[in-house]
Structure 1
Amino acid sequence: MNYINWIREKVGHEKIMLNFVSGCLRDKQGKLLLQKRADKNLWGFPGGAIELGESFEEALIREYLEETGLYVKVTSLIGIYSKYEDSYPNGDKAQPISFFFELEYVSGELAAGDEETVELRYFKEDEVPQLVNKQHEDFLADLKQFHGQVLIR
């Protein structure tokens, strides 16, 4: 079931709370994997909505595989992000509550695997392009100062 489509059938474009997971995967040189998103044509950390019945970990593993072609392992929670607003090109509004994790590569070949992904690329931390929204900007800021203690915004 696609939870967002199901709930949108009931509330239309009204602002709702949605739960998301995103993750940071680094290559062997320490560069960050980012996804150029089709909906806004901007970069962000791969991830997506948690479906009913999924855990954070299950959702993130599924989303990463769908969007990047990679199997990943969740290693650490970096932060929880809740006081944000976002809107989408179709008029939907949301307060996204996101859980941002550090990831480890398990297997697979990097490939844009769905219609949500325009491009995938690794970036040095100081060369990250404009990110899709304030929440993803905060993911990056917190990632730079992450030392094992969960950050809450």
Structure 2
Amino acid sequence: MARIEHFNNPNAPKPNSIVVAVTLFVQDGQGRVLLIQRTDNGLWALPGGAQDFGEYIAETAVRETREETGIEVEVTGVVGIYTNPSHVVEYSDGEVRQQFSICFRGRYLSGDPTTSEESSSVRWVAQDHLDQLSIHPSMRLRVNHGFQWRPEPYVG
């Protein structure tokens, strides 16, 4: 299913849903962050997705990271909560979702980057190489906050 990210766009369609979603910021031993290139829009992003029934929210972050990247992680904290009402995602099925995402911090346990139906590329990316990738501003905010090691989670 295709998706279009609308960010601070006064002509964006009005949202018709809010879904609990997560992303996960995890670094390897060299300090690089794990990113995927999404198959639905081609943008680079932290791994993540929507919570399933019967899951604790941290389990969602672990599952989505495994499914999208082949990497096993454990959740160690919270980077932030992202709820900007000026960020909506329009899907080709008519859903228009207002952003609601919890970005967790994780610890790498095992595995090698592996693509999936949702990720055409998976790689560990050094902070000084982020500007070379096409990353949505909302996702880049999460990545930046992850690298900052803020004393308290971002709430916004």
TM range, smaller chain = 0.7 to 0.9
Letter in 1 for 2:124: Y
Deviation digits for residues 48-83 of structure 1, max 9, x if unmatched? Answer: 100122111111111111111111000110100012
Letter in 1 for 2:134: Q
Letter in 1 for 2:99: P
Letter in 1 for 2:112: E
Structure 2's unaligned 5+ residue stretches are 1-14
Cα pair distance change 1:57/1:35, threshold 3 Å: same
SS of 1:76 mapped into structure 2: strand
- 1:127 maps to what in 2? 129
More helix by share: 1
Structure 1's unaligned 5+ residue stretches are 1-13
Give, in angstroms, the shift of residue 89 of structure 1: 4.4
SS of 1:41 mapped into structure 2: coil
Task: Kindly report the root-mean-square deviation, in angstroms, between the aligned alpha carbons of the 2 structures.
Answer: 1.8
- 1:63 maps to what in 2? 64
- 1:88 maps to what in 2? 91
TM-score of the aligned structures, taking structure 1 as reference length: 0.83
SS of 2:121 mapped into structure 1: strand
TM-score of the aligned structures, taking structure 2 as reference length: 0.81
Instruction: Count the aligned residue pairs.
Output: 139
Identity of paired residues, percent?
30
Please identify runs of 4+ aligned residues in structure 1 that moved more than 4 A: none
Question: Is structure 2 residue 139 aligned with structure 1 residue 136?
Answer: yes
Whole-Å separation in 1 of the counterparts to 2:45 and 2:122: 10
